[in-house]
Amino acid sequence: MSQATLDRSERKRSTVLDAATSLFLSKGYDGTTMDEVAALAGVSKPTLYRYFADKERLYAEIVAATTDNIDGLLRLVAEELAASDDPREGLGRLAGKFLTALMQPELLRLRRLVIANAERFPEVGQGWFSGGFERVLETLSVAFQRYAAKGRLRIDDPLLAANHFAGLLLWIPLNRAMFSGSCDSDPAELARYADAAVEAFLRGYGTETSR
């Protein structure tokens, strides 16, 4: 097979994934049909099934593909927390950007989709978590270990501390978005949650020099 043919095939596959992502996020798993995916992608059904044998495999692929986007968030966490030895300064810079990134409408819709189908497709849900947010928590925990080694945080379990920080940051806006069905976030409100999360975290884990 020529390189040109391979390129066309990859472009067509990418178009199918884009169409499937749009439909799954807007209509859910049960509300999306392979006929609709083929129509939106502009391919025939035989072509669609040549790439994906069934809707379950297509769903698993579009969820797995979104974990690639987590690399930007990992860089954000690592760079912001490596830029300063002061956890208040580092977490203060990180918190707002981190929260804004995680409250993006498409990511919220994907989260709802994965949660709604977690019991049906547990491997997909676990793969999305371990390949995505769990990696972010691990990156946070490494930064917290560094702060602790410098005497700027009091931490026995860095990964637990990372979960606590993420929970303080996300609990209110994320749960509100999940239960309300809204994907709109007020930037001023997110900034307030970010500031409050940093303050609460440092009250629990900070030392005299970081509070």
Enter the pTM of the model.
0.85
The CATH architecture of the domain made up of 3-53 is: Orthogonal Bundle (1.10)
How far apart CA 211 and CA 208 sit, in angstroms, is 6
Instruction: Give span(s): CATH 1.10.357.10, the chain.
Output: 66-205
Neighbours of 109 (CB within 10 A): 18
Full pLDDT tens readout for the chain, 211 residues: 454 555 778 888 999 999 999 999 999 999 999 999 999 999 999 999 999 999 999 999 999 888 767 888 888 888 889 888 899 999 999 999 999 988 988 889 999 999 999 999 999 999 999 988 899 999 999 999 999 999 999 999 999 999 999 999 999 999 999 888 777 788 899 999 999 999 999 999 998 766 6
**Paired residues of 153 in beta bridges:** 206
Q: Which CATH class is domain 66-205?
A: mainly alpha
Please work out, in degrees rounded to the nearest 5, the angle formed at the alpha carbon of residue 190 by the alpha carbons of 184 and 191. 145
Instruction: Give span(s): CATH 1.10.10.60, the chain.
Output: 3-53
> Cα Rg for the chain, rounded, in angstroms?
20
